[in-house]
Amino acid sequence: MALSRLSLTHLRNIDNADLSLGEGINLFYGANGSGKTSLLEAVHMLATGRSFRSRQHRAVIQEGAEALTVFGRLDGGDSLGVERLRSGGGRIRINRAPAESSSRLASCLPLQVINSDSFSALDGGPGVRRRLLDWTVFHVEHGYAQEWKNYQIALRQRNALLRRGKISAEQMDIWEQRLAQSGNRMDELRRAVFGELQAITSAFIRELPDSPLTRVELSYRRGWRRELDLHRALAESREGDLAQGHTRSGPHRADLRFTVAGEAAQHILSRGQQKMLVCALRTAMAELVRQHNQKPVFLVDDLPAELDKDNQTRFAQWVSRCASQVLVTGIDREATSRPWLTLPSPWNCPTVFHVEHGRICAEPESAP
Ligand SMILES: Nc1ncnc2c1ncn2[C@@H]1O[C@H](COP(=O)(O)OP(=O)(O)OP(=O)(O)O)[C@@H](O)[C@H]1O
């Protein structure tokens, strides 16, 4: 799915904007602080209900305004709308009808973000990598979201019992059975998707000639001891969990590992090589979702600030194979468009917008 129209009001320094987006590349250029990242943030709000920069909706709502709104029309005709209020709460609408959760938005508009924060995937905590795997499983396996919710409910209940200290073995057993049931299913789905993701990521990496990235190995840790069934693992760790006050085994502890000759990849690869590895992984995630019939939209914030020219070009080639549309930002128009210009149509003719003090203007010669 691609966005054909994007309208927003009162989001950071953007008072209002109403844009017709083009297929392929949409390029937003302008000076520091002009509002380029805020525009990408608006699309992220539309696809997830929240910002990628701040957990607080208040920070994103324009100073002096009571609410922000973002509206988008997809190329298939569907419409999405998100409103966030300074007083808290807000509304999500899909085709003008209220939607019960933001995960409905995500299934309408799968989104990949490449910005400076994306590169914490290697040296950040396991939660960052788990979320990448879960994004992929969510878009590929439609029963996954429910399984994940069931698991979270059972996990909260077991943790509450553990914190209470005095536990009834009978009650504990009920929640452990539920945890094991959903947890085993989540692991099965994650494992299957990870296998495909690993193969696609490796295929992308093999396109980088003579790069140490070709020696990177990816592996999946499910979050509990390999030789044990989850139900058994929970029963065995009950005493220790009670002492710690939380559940230490299960898919909520899963992780992805990146290694080179047995060493953690972030200790071996250069910063730029690590960024390319993350780009390969994120494009592989999008490619897998594309193979399941939904092409994601990419938001790419200031690529020239992150990668050298050859890597920018390679990344642009990867993205063009699996994305429905890309919104890229940069300070300089020429430098930002350069990696995309060698690609076939429609990728080589960006729709260009100039961003200045929160105003976004389509450049006349490139208007769709
Ligand atoms: N809630 C808010 N209300 C009004 N303005 C805000 C709010 N939050 C941030 N701003 C301002 O909005 C502007 C837009 O910032 P944004 O990060 O989108 O710029 P940018 O074009 O991506 O800049 P850079 O090239 O420096 O990354 C900044 O000047 C910022 O100070």
Whether residue 26 is annotated as binding a ligand: the answer is no
Report the complex ipTM.
0.98
3-state secondary structure the chain: CCEEEEEEEEECCEEEEEEECCCEEEEEECCCCCCHHHHHHHHHHHHHCCCCCCCCHHHHECCCCCEEEEEEEECCCCEEEEEEECCCCEEEEECCEECCCHHHHHHHCCEEEECHHHHHHCCCCHHHHHHHHHHHHHHHCCCHHHHHHHHHHHHHHHHHHHHHCCCCHHHHHHHHHHHHHHHHHHHHHHHHHHHHHHHHHHHHHCCCCCCHHHHEEEEEECCCCCCCCHHHHHHHCHHHHHHHCCCCCCHHHCEEEEEECCEEHHHCCCHHHHHHHHHHHHHHHHHHHHHCCCCCEEEEECHHHCCCHHHHHHHHHHHHHHCCEEEEEECCHHHHHHHHCCCCCCCCCCEEEEEECCEEEECHHHCC
Amino acid 293: pLDDT: 84
Work out the average pLDDT over 120-126: 91
Tens digit of each residue's pLDDT (9 = 90 or more) over 195-216: 999 999 999 999 998 899 999 9
Mutation test residue for ligand 1: of 16, 36, 60, the one with most atoms within 8 Å of CB: 36
Statement: residue 232 has pLDDT above 70 = yes
Whether residue 16 is annotated as binding a ligand: the answer is no
Work out the average pLDDT over 272-284: 96
Whether residue 115 is annotated as binding a ligand: the answer is no
Measured from the CB, is residue 13 less than 6 Å from ligand 1? Answer: yes
**Integer Cα distance of 197 and 130 in angstroms:** 13
Statement: residue 365 has pLDDT above 80 = no
Q: Residue 55 C-alpha to ligand 1 middle, in angstroms? A: 16
Identify the residue whose C-alpha is closest to ligand 1 atom 12: 13
Mutation test residue for ligand 1: of 11, 29, 37, 327, the one with most atoms within 8 Å of CB: 37
Ranges 38-42, 170-174, 216-220: which has the least confidence: 170-174
Whether residue 20 is annotated as binding a ligand: the answer is no
Measured from the CB, is residue 84 less than 6 Å from ligand 1? Answer: no
Amino acid 313: pLDDT: 96
Work out the average pLDDT over 1-27: 96
Whether residue 72 is annotated as binding a ligand: the answer is no
Amino acid 366: pLDDT: 56
Whether residue 30 is annotated as binding a ligand: the answer is yes
Work out the average pLDDT over 212-230: 94
Tens digit of each residue's pLDDT (9 = 90 or more) over 291-345: 998 999 999 999 999 999 999 999 999 999 999 999 999 999 999 999 999 999 9
Work out the average pLDDT over 343-356: 95
Amino acid 368: pLDDT: 47
Measured from the CB, is residue 38 less than 6 Å from ligand 1? Answer: yes
What's the whole-number average pLDDT of the chain? 94
Identify the residue whose C-alpha is closest to ligand 1 atom 27: 32
Q: What is the CA radius of gyration of the chain?
A: 22
Work out the average pLDDT over 360-365: 88
Measured from the CB, is residue 64 less than 6 Å from ligand 1? Answer: no
Identify the residue whose C-alpha is closest to ligand 1 atom 24: 32
Measured from the CB, is residue 57 less than 6 Å from ligand 1? Answer: no
Q: Residue 56 C-alpha to ligand 1 middle, in angstroms? A: 15
Instruction: Pick the atom of ligand 1 nearest to 35's CA.
Output: 18
Q: Residue 166 C-alpha to ligand 1 middle, in angstroms? A: 51
Work out the average pLDDT over 219-236: 94
Using 50, 70 and 90 to split pLDDT, how confident is the model at 169? confident
Q: What percent of the chain has pLDDT over 90?
A: 90
Whether residue 245 is annotated as binding a ligand: the answer is no
Measured from the CB, is residue 182 less than 6 Å from ligand 1? Answer: no
Q: Residue 153 C-alpha to ligand 1 middle, in angstroms? A: 38
Measured from the CB, is residue 62 less than 6 Å from ligand 1? Answer: yes
Amino acid 166: pLDDT: 73
Whether residue 165 is annotated as binding a ligand: the answer is no
The two three-digit tokens of residue 113, written as one number = 């973000």
Work out the average pLDDT over 147-165: 94
Mutation test residue for ligand 1: of 15, 29, 34, the one with most atoms within 8 Å of CB: 34
Ranges 104-108, 133-137, 349-353, 363-367: which has the least confidence: 363-367
Identify the residue whose C-alpha is closest to ligand 1 atom 6: 12
Q: What percent of the chain has pLDDT over 70?
A: 99
Work out the average pLDDT over 215-222: 96
Statement: residue 122 has pLDDT above 50 = yes
Statement: residue 177 has pLDDT above 70 = yes
Amino acid 231: pLDDT: 96
Tens digit of each residue's pLDDT (9 = 90 or more) over 240-269: 999 999 999 999 999 999 999 999 999 999
